[in-house]
Structure 1
Amino acid sequence: MSNDWNAQWREAVLPQLARETWDLIVIGGGISGAGILREAARRGWRCLLLEQRDFAWGTSSRSSKMVHGGLRYIAKGQWRLARDSVRERQRLMGEAPGLVDPMSFLMPHYRGGFPGPRVFGGLLRLYDALAGCRSRQFHKPAQLRYLAPGLKEPGLLGASQFRDALTDDARLVMRVLAEARADGAWVLNGLRVRQVLRDGERVCGVEVEDTEGGAVMQVRCAVLAVATGAWAERLQPGGGQRQLRPLRGSHLLLPGWRLPVAHAFSFMHRRDGRPVFVFPWEGATVVGTTDLDHREDLDLGASITCEELDYLLEACAQPFPQAQVTAADVLCTWSGVRPVVGAADSQAKPSNETREHVLWQEPGCVTLAGGKLTTFRPQAIEVLRACAGMLGKPLEDDGAPVFQAVPLQAIPGLSDAGVRRLAGRHGRDLPRLASLIRTLGSDCVGASDTLWAELAFAAETEMVLHLDDLLLRRTRLGLLLAEGAAHYLADIRRLCQPRLGWDDARWEQEQQRYLQLWQRHHSVPCASI
């Protein structure tokens, strides 16, 4: 059996799943499921995670990349959510530098606009109090010519500065899963749960289909945790009223040179008063996000619409009219679906729906509905506490770190910042990745910060089943390079095809599938601007 976590390992262990005795099975390979698994594994539970597609395939690779406390939660009176979010933001920045990093935010204030400097300053005072540190400042227009060149000046009163954080959301999921695997958890993708098994009224396992090979098996457990995000209602007993309201958030990615920004800019869209952002990420610039009811089939994946594209281009033009950004400047797009708790027929504005989570429980099963990326750890503790109660085991939040500390090491060809970045994204695997870099070199792919060695490492040992797993989630090259990195596919093939164990026919099939998927979900649709 292969010692690597890859397709060969997966094929070898599949027959064992039904023979094992599992304390806990987690369904869902996004950040919520990963967090639950990590907390269970470090407590010594015999646990298994099943993901029907790929890890972070849904919302957890298509978010706004922000680890934030959520100023608007304070404004809406959601104090507990704001408090937990700020505390977890601070924790994650401390535990995972290079993966969750601080980012300066600027809120420009214009004459007659809302919120004004005084109101927003009051919110920031509360925000800093919850975090236990001060980050707020106010900058006058003259200072902003240096801090934010290109920012629209007519009517500008100044800008409030505060701090939140950014991450690579898909790599965050992979890092949490790696910590769980290091503590003995089993983690597999490409396994679809067809139905929940019950012994009388109690859930006792799941029937699973291998979407790669077609085999069907029954896997038993003492307790089941469902963390499938927007899909959470699918495995619930029939007849209940829908409680989830899937909301789509779409984003544009611009080349960094086209709209260079050193800060994240937060402001209200003039069309509907919603908060939107322009911010730097991975050497590029993101514009987002929308907040709309998503009524399409969840299984098909979300895509930006022409109306959303126009909305986001309008947003970009508000603070930076002289940049004259158009659809032709956009590198790619992405859209994710938020699993917001709120009836599907709710009449409330999408942005007014709460981002609080709830637990649905039945004997032997706990389902997490709703929730946020930033607060995945306390959400996981809450789910695990409910699971432990069903097993007669007490469980408390002992405050243990999610991530093991990673000693940094010198790697030829990389700066200290480059090593820190790799340590944040790969954690305990840094020594092995460093060895591969010494063999393959420290060159990056195109204008990205991603090393060719990272591609090779992912192909060898990060459970890549399809080419989009490699280019959209293990790395973000499909987003950061033009046309989904199409111009680099020949070189990627030479490096990764032998490591993936694919023959020529399989590679050609995967490449065609990937390019079609990218065109459908990440290209730029029609625009009127």
Structure 2
Amino acid sequence: MEVPPAGDWQHVRHGPHRDTSPHPAGTSRAEPVIGTFDRASGLQRLEEQTFDVLVIGGGITGAGVLLDAVSRGLSAALVEKHDFASGTSSKSSKLVHGGLRYLQHGEIGLVREALAERTTLMRMAPHLVRVMPFMIPMFSRDGVINPRISRALGLALWQYDLAGGLRIGRAHRRLDHAATLAMAPALRGERVGASYLYFDAQADDARLTLEVIRTAALDFGAVAVNYCEPVALIHDPSGTVAGAEMVADEQRITVRARTVVNATGVWTDDILGLDGGTGSHTVRPAKGVHVTVPRERLPTEVAVVVPVRGDKRSVFVVPWDDFVYIGTTDTDYQGSLNHPRCDDDDVAYLLDAVNAATTAGLSPGDVTGTWAGLRPLVDRAEVRGTRTADLSRRHLVDVSPSGVVTVTGGKLTTFRRMAADAVDRCVHQLPDSAAGRSRTRRMTLLGARHRDRRALTGLPPGAADHLRRRYGGQARAVAALVAAEPELGAPLVEGLPYLRAEAAYGYLHEMATSADDILARRTRARLLDSAAAVRSEDTVEEIGRTYRSSGGMRLRV
């Protein structure tokens, strides 16, 4: 049996992208034909080609830069020292939103931009970015709601709707006491007087990152390689950056490029150090922690915004399948960038906030999963001393004296806009290029295509809808693995909806190299139920021995 590259059933052209601009002798360009997403061939191409754009960093921002660059007709490669989305881009709040709280800081322009991008992402990846209703409860004193608070919230939500919130197709509305408790029955009924309901969106951040990268590779011939660490930048005799030295599989390779983009998030200053920028302080890391509990312990049909007493902040309570996650904290961080931890104080902060507003009575024993991520906030001298929760989420694009383009700051929702701004700077440094303006605003990702409702046969009950929500039009490729090997239809992790076929697909077509890649990012098992994920590691490794890379079983779809 034979499995063709995933692109054989996924590829769709976005129109003519053949670049006719001149290039230096010896430059090899990825033609706008079906590409591959294979690590071994990617490493080979890194050594053999000279690229218009080399992107360092495989999070959502780097993924966006890669797709933006190749869709303009530029040759581009992306390298990531760990796995794709292994940093902040798998550990966010998983919300695609305008940021209602930014209105109170007067950042109406940022909110307007983010809401416009929310609409774009829902069109680009409707299977991954979906509408989520949010509730803001209004707590009463002796049964009376403070009218000033009620008016202020109503006004803020009208501003939010008019800034772009209405593009989602729904306006905010006020709910009475009964309707509020019907949607969020764990709220303290004696304290809640009413609530407001408004609408934003939720997304699986790691899968979104991976799908952006795979679209760049399979639709436009981009190169993307994980576990490929930059250890030096190379410069031409004039001092202009000309590529990077990498270490992959204990081998050192040289990647040549006409421009280099630093999209490494909280590691931004490390890459600037390779460029000679010793002592650079571009980024101020802020730690954000989330915890997961079973939904039966904190029942809710909507995301709930819960105030934190005495902290002038709120945390989200967000439903996710049979679980609910709570977050986030927002604190300065000074520790290891590679291993931020969720400590006991973080857990207590989140549980105390929820317990004050609900009857759940959560304890640390109810927590089934945790994650801690680091936001790469732009470090500006004029705001030092300000707490991270109050810092702007605007992004920064800067160019070093050697020509390294650095893009940082921002948020998940605005990654596409950040990427477009960064590639604009690259194009400015490529005067002989015919690349035009960004094309990604009207693009769709791989899974957004062929999303028909034809039956996915041979799957366990509920599995077809589960696969469609995660893979969109690619769900049939995962289902085909089950059809060929029925044992792949068995659960991957006890108590979670993932199939063994998803691990096989991750190894075969999504460049997964380890059980952690599968359990933490190709699925989200470690975030939902970490103990169950640990118990499944041997199963995942066994699947990996059969299906890893391009070897193993071959199935013709």
TM-score normalised according to structure 1 size: 0.88
SS of alignment partner, residue 298 of structure 1: coil
Matches within 5 A, 1:191-206: 191-199=228-236, 200-206=238-244
Counterpart Cα distance in 2 of 1:380 and 1:12: 25
Equivalent residues of 2:459, 2:482 under 8 A apart: no
Q: 1:311, CA displacement in angstroms?
A: 0.4
Given the alignment of the two structures, is residue 159 of structure 1 paired with residue 195 of structure 2, yes or no?
A: yes
Matches within 5 A, 1:170-181: 170-181=206-217
Tell me the residue number matched to 1:406.
449
Distance 1:12 1:386, change over 3 A: closer
Cα deviations by residue, 1:76-107 (Å, 9 ceiling, x for unpaired): 11122111111111222233222111111100
Structure 1 stretches of 5 or more lacking a match?
Answer: 504-529
Q: 1:156, CA displacement in angstroms?
A: 2.1
Equivalent residues of 1:98, 1:421 under 8 A apart: no
Counterpart Cα distance in 2 of 1:8 and 1:145: 48
Given the alignment of the two structures, is residue 450 of structure 1 paired with residue 498 of structure 2, yes or no?
A: yes
Cα deviations by residue, 1:210-268 (Å, 9 ceiling, x for unpaired): 1xx21112211111111000011112232455131100000111122222211101022
Tell me the residue number matched to 2:158.
125
Counterpart Cα distance in 1 of 2:37 and 2:265: 29
Tell me the residue number matched to 1:190.
227
Distance 1:343 1:416, change over 3 A: farther
Given the alignment of the two structures, is residue 307 of structure 1 paired with residue 345 of structure 2, yes or no?
A: yes
Given the alignment of the two structures, is residue 356 of structure 1 paired with residue 394 of structure 2, yes or no?
A: yes
Equivalent residues of 1:24, 1:221 under 8 A apart: yes
Given the alignment of the two structures, is residue 248 of structure 1 paired with residue 291 of structure 2, yes or no?
A: no
Cα deviations by residue, 1:144-188 (Å, 9 ceiling, x for unpaired): 232221211223221110011111111111111111011100110
Equivalent residues of 2:161, 2:171 under 8 A apart: yes
SS of alignment partner, residue 335 of structure 2: coil
Matched letter for residue 479 of structure 1:
L
Cα deviations by residue, 1:308-334 (Å, 9 ceiling, x for unpaired): 1110110110221x2111000100110
Equivalent residues of 2:292, 2:369 under 8 A apart: yes
Identify the range of structure 1 (92-101 vs 400-409) with the bigger mean alpha-carbon deviation.
Answer: 400-409
Given the alignment of the two structures, is residue 426 of structure 1 paired with residue 471 of structure 2, yes or no?
A: yes
Counterpart Cα distance in 1 of 2:509 and 2:484: 16
Matches within 5 A, 1:89-488: 89-111=118-140, 116-131=149-164, 132-133=166-167, 134-182=170-218, 183-199=220-236, 200-210=238-248, 213-236=249-272, 237-239=276-278, 241-299=280-338, 301-320=339-358, 322-343=359-380, 346-362=384-400, 363-392=402-431, 393=433, 395-398=436-439, 399-404=441-446, 405-407=448-450, 408=452, 409-412=454-457, 419=464, 421-423=466-468, 425-427=470-472, 429-441=474-486, 442-445=489-492, 446-488=494-536
Matched letter for residue 125 of structure 1:
W
Matches within 5 A, 1:60-79: 60-79=89-108
Cα deviations by residue, 1:343-382 (Å, 9 ceiling, x for unpaired): 5992101111111111110343211021110011111111
Q: 1:417, CA displacement in angstroms?
A: 8.1
Identify the range of structure 1 (120-129 vs 424-433) with the bigger mean alpha-carbon deviation.
Answer: 424-433
Distance 1:85 1:440, change over 3 A: farther
Counterpart Cα distance in 2 of 1:172 and 1:283: 21
Counterpart Cα distance in 2 of 1:473 and 1:273: 33
Counterpart Cα distance in 2 of 1:349 and 1:235: 26
Equivalent residues of 1:230, 1:337 under 8 A apart: yes
Matched letter for residue 310 of structure 1:
A
SS of alignment partner, residue 334 of structure 2: coil
TM-score normalised according to structure 2 size: 0.84
Q: 1:15, CA displacement in angstroms?
A: 3.9
SS of alignment partner, residue 233 of structure 1: helix
Counterpart Cα distance in 1 of 2:155 and 2:240: 50
Cα deviations by residue, 1:44-75 (Å, 9 ceiling, x for unpaired): 22111000001000000001111111011222
* Seq. identity, %: 33
Distance 1:452 1:15, change over 3 A: closer
Counterpart Cα distance in 2 of 1:8 and 1:342: 36
The RMSD of aligned alpha carbons is 2.7
Give the number of aligned pairs.
Answer: 498
Equivalent residues of 1:175, 1:426 under 8 A apart: no
Identify the range of structure 1 (224-233 vs 70-79) with the bigger mean alpha-carbon deviation.
Answer: 70-79
SS of alignment partner, residue 323 of structure 1: coil
Distance 1:310 1:481, change over 3 A: closer
Cα deviations by residue, 1:493-516 (Å, 9 ceiling, x for unpaired): 44333212799xxxxxxxxxxxxx
Matched letter for residue 346 of structure 2:
E
